[in-house]
Amino acid sequence: MFSTTKKVFVNQKEISLTKTEFLILEYFMKNRAISCSREKILTGVWGYDFDGEEKIVDVYINSLRKKMDTESKYIHTIRGFGYIFQYKEDWK
């Protein structure tokens, strides 16, 4: 992921993301291996003035997962809480 050029590569292949998908991925990478609630993601990506449903996070996560579909799953669900972004070497 290159924040300055807004380009994302998975397995050396560039993938196209929307602005919001990119911001969520960037947020996850800055908070790698840290459990993030939906509320925390909303605040970190949309800001404090977001006036919508927390479930919008789930919609974007689903889209990101589809676009980043690889054998190594990066975005993991923490049931009843939110999500965590981990690289394979973080799994322990």
The pTM is what?
0.84
Mean pLDDT of the chain: 86
Looking up residue 33, the CATH number of its domain turns out to be 1.10.10.10
Q: Using a CB cutoff of 8 Å and minimum separation of 24, what contacts does 74-83 make?
A: 74/28, 75/28, 78/35, 81/35, 81/37, 82/35, 82/36, 82/37, 82/38, 82/39, 82/40, 82/41, 82/57, 83/28, 83/35, 83/36, 83/38, 83/41, 83/57
pLDDT value of position 90? 60
Q: What is the pLDDT of residues 49-86, one digit of tens each?
A: 777 788 899 999 999 999 987 766 889 999 989 999 98
Total number of domains in the chain:
1
Residue 42 lies in a domain: yes
Residue numbers of the domain that contains 70: 17-85
Residue 37 lies in a domain: yes
